[in-house]
Chains A and B, each alone.
Chain A
Amino acid sequence: MKKPKINTLMVILLSILILPFIYTNNNFCHILILFLIFAGLGEAWNIITGFAGQTSFGHAAFFGIGAYTSTVLFYKFHISPWFGMIMGAFLAAIISALVSYPCFKLKGHYFAIATLAIAEIIKQIFVSWDYVEGATGISIPIVEEGIYNFQFHSSKIPYFLIAYILFLAVVYTAKAIEKNRMGYYLKAIRDSHEAAEALGINTTIYKLYAMMISAAFTASLGTLYAQYILYIDPFMVFPLEISMKIVLLTVLGGIGSIYGPIIGAAVLIPLSEYTRIILGGTGKGIDLIIFGALIVIIACYEPNGIIGILKQKRKKGEHIHAKAKALS
């Protein structure tokens, strides 16, 4: 049972890696980069919400913190965005711990609402904070391309590779968590807080760990996004839309599953990019309309997302197989 599962994941990951080399189109590469960023964000969100069951609607806050930390350090002090990425991850982990510690006392929907509010607060702080240029945003100075400066102008492939490595890091961290003590503990917390405590699990600490890991990865992807777009403002990296996209694509794909965010991002990102290409300015938001409809259908039909449907199919297959064996 276990071996083919690992192989499917590897096949998916390898096919993502070779795609931009087979179909060398700049726009296609751009979509792949966005796909990797959002799939990575979904995986990171999955750690705190899919595994630990603490619904966060405020992950845009960590994404923005990651983007702003590296950008400000580069813009003001000319420090390599790589260092900024580490600092951003570190800062996001600390801030996530500070804000979620009191919020963990809230149960269910109240926690979700609190995260939503906190993300908005952080956004408003950045909007009116002069040191980081407030609502005007920061254009990242264009410098010589190269790995140290984290800027590549002649090709999108380096960005793709960096996104791919970050994405791999999140996927394998999530996988390692799922297979080990922490994964079991987080899932126990999700299913029953009290039972988890009775089993000797320090629920607060484990939820904090999950939140910090999740925030750190979200922030590193934020740095990558900032370096890729080369311009950030609070409305771009802190909006509710990003938090929602992370939630929606994971829910569509399958919450609590490693494959979920990959499937969800593979649907949402091409959908939003191609509708924009085809429909132009008039098509703004049409992707979310289609996506919303998909979510409604999925939620009615199979709450575990697309991965849930696939699993059911497989189970049915096994069932028929077993029956056939019994009959023969």
Chain B
Amino acid sequence: MQKQKLCLENITMKFGNLIANEDISFVVNEGEIVSLIGPNGAGKTTLFNCITGFYKPFSGKVFFEGTEITGWPPHRITALGLTRTFQIVKPLKEMTVRDNVLTGAFLRAKNRKEAEEIADEVLHFTQLYEKRDLLASSLTIVDKKRLELARILATKPKMVMLDEVMAGLNTTEIKQAVDMCLKLRESGITLLIVEHIMEAIMPISDRVIVLNAGKKIAEGPPQEIINNEDVIKAYLGERYHAKSKKS
């Protein structure tokens, strides 16, 4: 049996009367690429925030490698080896690209020299090395998304959660991003990806989890999900679903 990396038990998150996540449970195993999909407002980012400690879930439990991390502050969760990127990129604007990555690298490094080694390695991996001396605020959106990834890779995570890293990229850039995800898995990092671009993530995902209106409506291998009626309904609406059945 595969080792469980991340385990969610009945996570519910409310904002006042609005239920953003309702009773969500799933497991991510070591070395897997799992995608989390769903229409806008399905609660994907909220769930991310609940897992990584930015929100404290209303009820339910989160486990990482068997340790309960529900309600821990985000920095402790990162120190355990579970970290995330942000959908709306948050570059450290007034620092250079290298300093951004260096900031992440200090988590595992004993001194500055070690941190610099980690940072340079990550910069090469994410193809940002040539741009290392630029200010983070001067980067294009593609590079800002890369930087977002580079910075968290410098913390040497065991599992990475990517929040829409491919949104707004062109076809070539998406391909590069997909390759990067596969390389990450090869290096032993478990991935949980929130994404809208189906053609990019369906081929690389081991499993897909679908959220709609805060609830989990489906989970399974990509092939199964594509043909799942509930999923089609959620994405295309009842009417289109009915039409497609008639024809």
Known: A199-B104, A200-B75. Is A191-B95 also a contact (CB below 8 A)?
A: yes
- Is A198 interfacial (CB 8 A cutoff)? yes
Q: Mark B49-61, 1 if CB is under 8 A from A, else 0.
A: 0001110000000
Assess whether B107 is in contact with A200, with CB atoms less than 8 Å apart.
yes
Q: State the main secondary structure of chain A at its contact with B.
A: helix
* B151 beta carbon closer than 8 Å to chain A: yes
Return the CB mask of A175-216 against B: 1 if under 8 Å, else 0: 000011100110110111011111111110000000000000
B75 touches A197 (CB 8 A): yes
Segment at the A interface, from B77-85, B176-184, B232-240: B77-85
Whole-angstrom CA separation of A200 from B104 in the bound complex:
8
B90–A199 CB distance below 8 A:
no
Q: Given that A197-B74, A198-B83, A200-B75 are known contacts, is A179 also in contact with B90, CB under 8 Å in the complex?
A: no
Name the CB-closest residue of A to B99.
A184
B112 within 8 Å of A by Cβ? yes
The number of residues on chain A lying at the interface, defined by a beta carbon within 8 Å of a beta carbon of chain B, is 21
- Asked if B129 is an interface residue, CB under 8 A from chain A, the answer is no
**Closest chain A residue, CB of each to CB of B49:** A194
Within 8 A of A (CB), among B116-154: 151-152
A285 to B24, CA, bound (A): 64
A contact residues around B86 at 8 Å (CB): 194-195, 198
A208 to chain B, nearest CB (A): 14
C-alpha spacing A195/B75, complex, angstroms: 10
A180 and B114 CA atoms in complex are apart in Å by 12
B106 proximal to A (CB < 8 A)? yes
Instruction: Please tell me the number of chain B residues within 8 Å of chain A, measured between CB atoms.
Output: 30
Q: How far is the CA of A284 from the CA of B83 in the complex (A)?
A: 57
Q: Are B152 and A198 in contact (CB under 8 A)?
A: yes
Contact assessment for B73 and A198 in the assembled complex, using a CB-CB cutoff below 8 Å: no
B112 touches A191 (CB 8 A): no
In the complex, the answer to whether B92 meets A198 with C-beta atoms within 8 Å is no
Which of A190, A192, A200, A203 gathers the greatest number of chain B CB atoms within 10 Å? A200
B151 touches A195 (CB 8 A): yes
Q: Given that A187-B94, A199-B107 are contacting pairs, would A179 and B152 also be in contact in the complex, using a CB cutoff of 8 Å?
A: no
Task: Find residues 57-112 in chain B having any chain A CB closer than 8 Å to their own CB.
Answer: 73-76, 78-79, 83-86, 90-95, 99, 102-104, 106-107, 112
A202 to B90, CA, bound (A): 17
Q: Is the CB of A179 within 8 A of B92?
A: no
Q: Contacts A180-B112, A185-B106, A191-B94; is A199 near B152 (CB within 8 Å)?
A: yes
Bound together, the chains give a CA A184 to CA B96 distance in angstroms of 11
Q: A195-B86, A198-B84, A200-B75 given as contacts; is B92 within 8 A of A188 (CB)?
A: yes
B12 part of interface (Cβ distance < 8 Å)? no
Residues from chain A with a CB closer than 8 A to the CB of B152 are 198-199
On whether A195 and B90 interact (CB within 8 A), knowing A181-B112, A184-B103, A184-B106, the answer reads yes
Q: Does B155 contact A (CB under 8 A)?
A: yes
Contacts of A198 in B (CB 8 A): 52, 74, 78, 83-86, 152
Kindly state the separation between the CA atoms of A184 and B155 in the bound complex, as whole angstroms: 14
Q: Please report the C-alpha to C-alpha distance between residue A203 and residue B102 in the assembled complex, in whole angstroms.
A: 17
Q: B109's closest neighbor in chain A, by CB?
A: A181
24 A-B pairs with C-beta separation under 8 A: A179-B112, A181-B112, A184-B99, A184-B102, A184-B103, A185-B106, A187-B103, A191-B95, A192-B90, A192-B92, A194-B86, A194-B90, A195-B86, A195-B92, A196-B103, A197-B74, A197-B75, A197-B78, A199-B152, A200-B78, A201-B75, A202-B75, A202-B76, A203-B75
**B interface vs A, CB < 8 Å?**
52-54, 73-76, 78-79, 83-86, 90-95, 99, 102-104, 106-107, 112, 115, 151-152, 155
